Structures are given as structure tokens and as C-alpha cells.
Amino acid sequence: MALPEGDGESTELSLPKQFAKIQDILNGEIRVNSMVNVIGIIRDYRPPMRSRGSGKFTPADRRATSNLTTNTRCQDFKSTMSFFDKSTEPEGGSPLTINIFRPNDDAPEISAGDVVVIYQAKVQYWGGPSLISNWATAIYIYSAARIPKPPETAALAVSQPLGGKSAGKKPTDKEHEYVSWLYHNVDSCFIPEPAQFKMQVERSMTAKDKFKLLKDVRDFDFCNAIVQVVLKPYVAGDLATMWVTDYTTNEGFKNFSYQHKVQDGPSDGDPFGYIKSAQKDWPGPFGQRAIQLTAWGMHAAAIEANATQGSWLMLRNVQIKFGRDASYLEGFIREDRGARDPILQVEALKIGDDIDGRFKDALKRKLAYEKLKKKQLQDQGLGASSHLSNTQKNKTASLPEIETRKMKRQRLNAKRQQQEQEAASKASIEKQPQESVAQKQVGAGPRLNQSIKCESIDRPATRLATILDPVSRVVDIDKNGESTAVALPFVNSKHRIIVRVVDFAPRKLQDFSRWRQKTEYDILSEHSGTDTDSEDDTGRDTLESYRGEKIWEWRFALQLEEFSLDEESEEPRKVWVLVDNIEGQQLTNLNACDLRAEEDQMGQLREQLFRLWGNLEEIKTAEAQSSVARKDRINAHKPPESSPPRADLSEAATTIAKTKLSNTPFTCCIRQYGARVPEDDQSKADAGPDRRWQRLFGLFGTRIASGVPE
């Protein structure tokens, strides 16, 4: 490779428009999450290696790998590249790094001094400013050996886009010209020798992944770890100490109980107890899940600046060994004073859409731990919702194992019989014409509201009586074949029904959306943010729940009445169905928000729901006004209104209240499921201590189609 001469004889060229200076990015002058274009000289490169990401292809990746199906899942390949430009020369050629993610390991041959042109990379802060690729990023490499001297352009030295991307932005003639000028006008002392560069690349390919879970660390280990800070770090001079956890258990860690106190400061710093540190309540995690970590120098400064209680950190090259008292394992991060460019080994992690898969795993472990802790506190009588006496606990704990086996057998039998019934129903449907089946299930077909669409329209509709009537399963109770019928509290099932809306809750449309506090678990796809189990709502009205960012979600209920063409038939069956956030978005085609503050959204919601339930809101509003007027009259000791001359504004409300509900039936999908609710009567507690199963119904797969006439 011919190194650039850097004689500066050619006319200086300015950076092409729409390109950012690397020093501006390093100085933080370009905000995080901005998309930038950059040009630089490559100083370091790490070839593609399998990442620990989600492995999900983006739409662009799928187009680039047309031989794969849309459902294909695999791990991404990650490579990194460090480069500098003229703006960083006064700072010693400080490099900027880009993290490149691609679904394959294709990459061009890269040498020291090659020029890179990058379009549409995102600025991030991951232990310092850096770039990260996305599906729109295009990367072009110019081979240093083929870049001519100015005024000739470097058009013939450019390679195909990194990662095989064929579409997107391509370098212009002015950019080819600038590449040639830049390469021959940088200080060559910032570019490593070819042999040194090659050795660095080969070393990065064979480097051992030092990442470990804390449960796997042992004495004398050096490891990387993703952890959460348990207590606010204690900082004294160039030393910082803190307790961290990744929610795994290690027998070498200190065992913290629920009433444990912890000293505010490093244990090693006061071996003889001359300094009396303040004692704090240990906030958890309990058990052997936390390790004390001490850092010095620049790492301690990073902890002081970026870490507090609850922060997530990526720690690198942590030394694990027993502390001074040789009782428990501790972690240590020291400065490498002999290094020319010491590397910061403490990075603050932010929760976003592109977080490390290992970070997600840590969040999942924390969520599982929080659920376990709540259960343990209740079992020990420390939880707010624990009402069991010791006698009741002992009675529950001493239930014979045969009861557990019987319950398991009942569940299996119920599941088997349900599957048999579904199979028989499916077979009968296949034998009969679709029309006759539908008529058998719901009678003659009514005129339906065409504004309401639902999935599984090809499946026959089911009567509400079939859904609401109790379900029993016959189970064997002994070896002699004796059996008994067991009533099931609920059945997990889905149905399509023909109904109309006759009531709703809450009474005010403004309350159809409610807020909750945003949590770190929202990034987890399997975490809905809310739980049907009522015990998870404890603490919502505390002061802590009002802090931080709010997330608005749909949460309302509809009372559905079965539609029948036979007016002389018995009273139609009704059912309340819950509408959660996801189904509320699908139903209304609107995102939840503060409906009291967003009047436009409130108007759109009212218009959408009018398509669903007709004049129901008007009737309910009139009924509420009439009820208020009646209460006011009674409180004022006034006689009932008896003649038209004395009628007032409430007359209009009364007239509307007597108006017949006018809305068109529609087809929708509902699901039956069970939720655990509090139960004081232990004889009815069939879902664990102080809990019983309650059957619930939820709307799903139903949408109000705007602009479709009824």
C-alpha cells in the first residue's frame, strides 16, 4: 500500500455539502439519533462476527437476500470500522467508530489507509459518540492502492457497497474528487503500518468473547458483564465503589436478606472499622445476586458522571477475586497506566429499539426476579396483599401430593376433551354446506354493519348461550373407573359472534384511555405493560407511580347483546368484553392519548365509535343528565314535575332517554380467558392462596373501517 504523501501541494478542497465533520460528532455537536454522511481514512477494522442480536431481518435485508423466506431468522453479523478525517488531525487523528450490522458476513478486503464514504448512519452514544448502521445505510470503500493523485478522481478505486446493498445513495463526481484529495493530504503518521493493521485484524477475529453472567464468574476471572447499579455509587477521589447485579445467583456473593442493612462505602477501604459508614436498607436484589465493584481513575469518573441507582452499565475487563476479608467475590476495574490510548471500560446503556440482545436477557431476568420477590414477600407475610395466617399457610403447604396429581389429570382430561370436541366440530362443518352450518348456529342472517370488519369471517358464528353456559368435564377419580363432573372456571377459547353494543364503561369517553408509568420492560416484546392479574395493580396510586414518563393505553369495556331476528324469543343474552391497548388500537385505528387534552383525537374517537354503536352515547348521556336532575330535585325537596308548563331543560334529556337504541348488529371476535382475583373464602380459592379464577371475555381481531357505509 502506498502511503499518502501529505505534502499539501494541491489546492485545498472543502468537505462536500451534506457531509459532517468527524470532530463535530466526537464533540457532541450533532445530536444523538441524527442521520449523518461522513468521509474518513480507515485506521482500524474488525471483520464480521456473529452478534447476539435478535436476528430479525429488516425489509431491506430481506430484499437483499431474496433467496430467504420472510420468516427466516438468523443472527446478524457485526463488524466495526474506525476512521478519521482532516478535522481530527489537531486532536491526534481521533477516530470515529461505526458498528455495522448485516445479515451475512460478506465484506470487501480492507487495508489501512483505505477511504470510507458512509451515507445515512445514525449517531449514537455508547460509551462515547459513535455511528451505527441501519437498513438505509450505504458504505463505500476506496482502495488506498488505487486512489490517484489530485486532480484525478478516485472513481475507479471504489468498491461495491459494503454488505452487498445495490440500492441507495451513490458517490458523486465531487465526492470522488474529494476522496482523492483527502487521501493525499492527511498526515500519514496517523495510519498504522500494513503489518500492524493486519495483525490487529487477525487478533480481533480470534479474540475470545469475555462476556459472562455473574453466576459464572470465579476467582481470578477477567470478564465483561451487563449489570444494573443497586445503590447510588460511593465516590471518593479517584475511587468509586458500587453494588451491581445481573439478576443471576452466585454462591461466592454475599447473601442479602429482606431486612439487611448495607454500609455506604467500600468494605476494603475501612478494614478495621475506623470509619463508621452510614447504614442503608438493602433495596435488593435479595439472595446471592449482587457483587461489590470498585473502579479507579477514568473509570471511577465515568461512574460518577453516568451511573446512579437503577442505571444499566456495560463493564469490560472486570477482574474478579475475593475481597480483603476473603469472604466474598468482588469486582475491580483498574486503569492501564502503560497504555498509549487507555480504553474506557464503563459504558452507560440506554434502552432503545436497537439494544443488545444480552441486555434484553438481563431485563427478562429482572422481570422474573421481581415476580419471584413479590411471591416470596407474600409468603413471608411482608407483602401488602398477604392475608394468610400461619395455620392457613401450613394447611396449604401440607396438601397431599395426590391432590396436585388429580388437578393435573383434570387439566389434561379437560384439554383432551376440548380438542376432541373441536375436531368433531370441524369434521361436521366440512360435511355440511357453509350456509346450513351458519343458519344452524345463528339462524337467518341479519343485515350487518359493513363498517365493522373482523377476522375469521369464514368461521360460523356461535350463540352466546353456548359461550356463557358453564362447562363441565368428566374426570376419573379412582382406578375403578368412577368418574365425576368437574365445573371449569373458564375455558380458553375464541369465537365469532353477531351482536350489537348496548352499554359501555367507563361512562365518559374521555376515560377510555388511561396512563401508566413507562418502565424498562416495555422494550420486551412479551411484556404487555399491564397484566390481567389484579395483584399487579398494587402501588399504582402511590407517589412513585406518578413519576417519570407516562404511556397512554386503551382500557375500556363494551356490553354486547346477541342479535336475534325473532322478537318474541326470550331475553337476548349479553356479555361484557374488555378492550385492551392492542385491540383498542385495532378497533379504533387510533393511538391512545390524553383525551381530555387532545380534543381532535377525542372527536375522531367519538366519530369512530358512532359507527360502532349508533346513538348509544346520546342515550347514555341523556340518562346520566336525567339521573342528575332527579337527584338534585330530591335533594332540594321539590315535587315531581307533573305538567308540561313546568318542563325545563331536563325534558329534552328525558325525551332522548326514551329514544329507542338505534344501531346495526355486526360480527366480531371475542376470546374467553381466566384471571386471578382476590378471594377471602379459602374454599373458593381455586387459583392459589387468597386467589380464585374469574372468567373474562376480551374483544380481538375487530376493526371499525372508516368511510364504509353501514
What pLDDT score was predicted for residue 339?
A: 58
Instruction: Report, as an integer, the average pLDDT of 317-344.
Output: 83
What pLDDT score was predicted for residue 417?
A: 56
Q: Which of 368, 388, 408 is the last residue of a domain?
A: 368
Statement to judge: residues 252 and 153 lie in one domain: no
Give pLDDT tens digits for 348-405. Answer: 998 875 677 899 899 999 999 998 888 777 776 655 344 333 434 443 333 333 334 4
Beta partners for residue 224, in sequence order: 211
Check residue 538 and report its DSSP letter.
T
528 vs 21: which has the higher pLDDT: 21
Longest Cα pair distance anywhere in the chain, in angstroms? 106
Q: Which of 679, 704, 619, 187 is nearest to 387 (CA)?
A: 679
Return the number of other C-beta atoms located less than 10 Å from residue 649's C-beta.
8
User: Which of 408-412, 443-447, 702-706 is least confident?
Assistant: 408-412
What pLDDT score was predicted for residue 506?
A: 94
Share of the chain above pLDDT 90, in %: 40
Per-chain mean pLDDT for the chain: 78
Q: To which H or E segment does residue 487 belong?
A: strand 483-488
Q: Which domain holds residue 576?
A: 452-533+548-634+658-700
Rounded to an integer, what distance in angstroms lies between the CA atom of residue 501 and that of residue 574?
9
Tell me the three cell numbers of residue 188.
Answer: 500519514
Tell me the one-letter amino acid at 124.
Q
Share of the chain above pLDDT 70, in %: 71
Statement to judge: residues 198 and 88 lie in one domain: yes
Q: Is it the case that residue 457 has pLDDT exceeding 60?
A: yes
What pLDDT score was predicted for residue 29?
A: 92
What pLDDT score was predicted for residue 341?
A: 63
Task: Give the CATH number of the domain where residue 469 resides.
Answer: 2.40.50
Instruction: Report, as an integer, the average pLDDT of 90-103.
Output: 85
Q: Which of 33, 39, 74 is nearest to 53 (CA)?
A: 74
Statement to judge: residues 155 and 257 lie in one domain: no
Going by pLDDT thresholds of 50, 70 and 90, the confidence category of residue 422 is: low
Q: Which of 157, 173, 205 is the last residue of a domain?
A: 205
Instruction: Report, as an integer, the average pLDDT of 653-661.
Output: 59
Q: Which of 466, 465, 554 is nearest to 510 (CA)?
A: 554
Statement to judge: residues 581 and 623 lie in one domain: yes
Q: Is it the case that residue 88 has pLDDT exceeding 70?
A: yes
Task: Give the CATH number of the domain where residue 180 resides.
Answer: 2.40.50.140
Statement to judge: residues 195 and 245 lie in one domain: no
Asked if residue 5 is part of any domain, the answer here is no
Asked if residue 705 is part of any domain, the answer here is no
Total domains in the chain come to 3
What pLDDT score was predicted for residue 627?
A: 81
Statement to judge: residues 227 and 295 lie in one domain: yes
Q: Is it the case that residue 408 has pLDDT exceeding 80?
A: no
Instruction: Report, as an integer, the average pLDDT of 542-563.
Output: 80
Asked if residue 618 is part of any domain, the answer here is yes
Statement to judge: residues 115 and 227 lie in one domain: no
Q: Which of 368, 400, 430 is the last residue of a domain?
A: 368
Rounded to an integer, what distance in angstroms lies between the CA atom of residue 382 and that of residue 591?
39
Asked if residue 13 is part of any domain, the answer here is no
Asked if residue 600 is part of any domain, the answer here is yes
Asked if residue 3 is part of any domain, the answer here is no
Instruction: Report, as an integer, the average pLDDT of 287-305.
Output: 94
Asked if residue 505 is part of any domain, the answer here is yes
Site of grid cell 478522481 = 153
What pLDDT score was predicted for residue 629?
A: 79
Q: Is it the case that residue 207 has pLDDT exceeding 70?
A: no
Statement to judge: residues 238 and 191 lie in one domain: no
3-state per-residue secondary structure call for 252-268: CCCCECCCCEEECCCCC
What pLDDT score was predicted for residue 314?
A: 93
Instruction: Report, as an integer, the average pLDDT of 161-181.
Output: 79
What pLDDT score was predicted for residue 106?
A: 65
Going by pLDDT thresholds of 50, 70 and 90, the confidence category of residue 285 is: very high
Rounded to an integer, what distance in angstroms lies between the CA atom of residue 603 and that of residue 663?
20
What pLDDT score was predicted for residue 162?
A: 72
Q: How far is CA 438 from the centre of its chain?
A: 41
What pLDDT score was predicted for residue 624?
A: 83
Tell me the three cell numbers of residue 82.
Answer: 474506525
**Which runs of E-coded beta strand occur in 400-518?**
452-454, 471-476, 483-488, 493-505, 513-517
Statement to judge: residues 465 and 344 lie in one domain: no
Q: To which H or E segment does residue 59 belong?
A: helix 59-64
Percent of the chain as helix, strand, coil, to the nearest 5: 30, 25, 45
Statement to judge: residues 246 and 303 lie in one domain: yes
Cβ atoms of residues 196 and 267 within 8 Å: no
Going by pLDDT thresholds of 50, 70 and 90, the confidence category of residue 428 is: very low
Give pLDDT tens digits for 9-60. Answer: 557 889 999 999 999 999 989 999 999 999 999 999 988 877 655 444 444 3
What pLDDT score was predicted for residue 559?
A: 96
Return the number of other C-beta atoms located less than 10 Å from residue 357's C-beta.
13
293 vs 373: which has the higher pLDDT: 293
Going by pLDDT thresholds of 50, 70 and 90, the confidence category of residue 441 is: very low
Going by pLDDT thresholds of 50, 70 and 90, the confidence category of residue 419 is: low
Asked if residue 707 is part of any domain, the answer here is no
What pLDDT score was predicted for residue 486?
A: 81
Rounded to an integer, what distance in angstroms lies between the CA atom of residue 530 and that of residue 427?
38
Going by pLDDT thresholds of 50, 70 and 90, the confidence category of residue 411 is: low
Statement to judge: residues 165 and 237 lie in one domain: no
637 vs 603: which has the higher pLDDT: 603
Q: Is it the case that residue 621 has pLDDT exceeding 50?
A: yes
Statement to judge: residues 628 and 600 lie in one domain: yes
Instruction: Report, as an integer, the average pLDDT of 572-600.
Output: 93
Q: Is it the case that residue 412 has pLDDT exceeding 70?
A: no
